[in-house]
Amino acid sequence: MESTTKGWGSGLLGVIIFSGSLPATRVAVGDLSPIFLTAARATIAATLGLALLWALRQKRPVRNDFGSLAVVALGVVVGFPLLTALALQHITSARSMVFIGLLPLATAVFGVLRGGERPKPAFWLFSVLGGLLVAGFALGEGGPASLTGDLLMIAAIVLCGLGYAEGATLSRRLGGWQVISWALLLALPVMAALMLASLPAHWSGVGTRAWLGLAYVSVFSMLIGFVFWYRGLALGGIAGVGQLQLLQPFFGLALAGFLLGEPVAWTMIAVTTLVVVCVAGAKRFT
């Protein structure tokens, strides 16, 4: 029980950190290309991860781990950051929250497929209801639709759910921060080359807000958030703790309203209350 409680607490810290990712990405892609942003954030985070691995003298993963690390890298180092950055050129960060509401369900599905978890039937009821609440709210608040942006977000959610579940399974043996650090390091040669190939033509056109957005997604979204998130998933269960992501859109919408001036309705409080009930119900039946 103590381990599960620690897992949920750690997972919640991860969700709070991740909540700033889409608003920060939305700011950054105003002045930086999505490809450069994706490659730069991964390169910066990989450099920090390498320093941690070296300073703390971590052992290399065994050969069988590299396939799983490649899946993690594809899902959360490359796939989700790149696809969301591309999507946010077509939709607002508020609308992107529609799809973040589906991420807990995707994570739970991959938790069953890759992590061997078997939640009770009632869990799926609360999970689906929570996802529908978030998606329904965000559809009403998220601005105009874009087929391109929406399809990119759907693809991002699928890859992210896979990366979360695969990383959480691996974290049970390697540790949370070690998994994301090794995944970042695995992707570093490609990401560093891509970053150099997509450097901005004119640095003077990149504003302070874009640099701050890049700094946030590099240090917090790409590394520190995963320290807490993978630990939470490993200790508390992939399917169960993954439901905390239902709260991420509301943290994110609040940040979008505060930082970007995007409209946020008072109804967010009512829907958040219902979502908390769904999260508690899902926790009860994992």
For residue 158, the 8-state DSSP code is H
Domain count along the chain? 1
Range of the domain at 193: 2-284
CA distance 252 to 250: 5
pLDDT given at position 175: 82
pLDDT given at position 270: 72
pLDDT given at position 114: 77
Quick count: other Cβ atoms within 10 Å of Cβ 156?
Answer: 24
pLDDT given at position 277: 78
Contact call for residues 179 and 164 (beta carbons, < 8 A): no
* Local mean pLDDT, 10-residue blocks, the chain (286 residues): 79 89 84 92 95 90 92 92 87 74 82 79 83 73 71 91 89 87 95 94 89 95 91 85 79 68 62 74 72
Nearest to 19, CA basis, from 228, 263, 278: 228
pLDDT given at position 242: 82
pLDDT given at position 237: 84
Quick count: other Cβ atoms within 10 Å of Cβ 185?
Answer: 18
Two structure tokens written together for 208: 């302070």
Q: In degrees rounded to 5, what are phi and psi of residue 109? A: -60, -45
Q: What is the DSSP string of 21-74?
A: HHHHHHHHTTTS-HHHHHHHHHHHHHHHHHHHHHHTTPPPPPTTHHHHHHHHII
pLDDT given at position 260: 61
Two structure tokens written together for 77: 């180092």
CA distance 134 to 101: 5
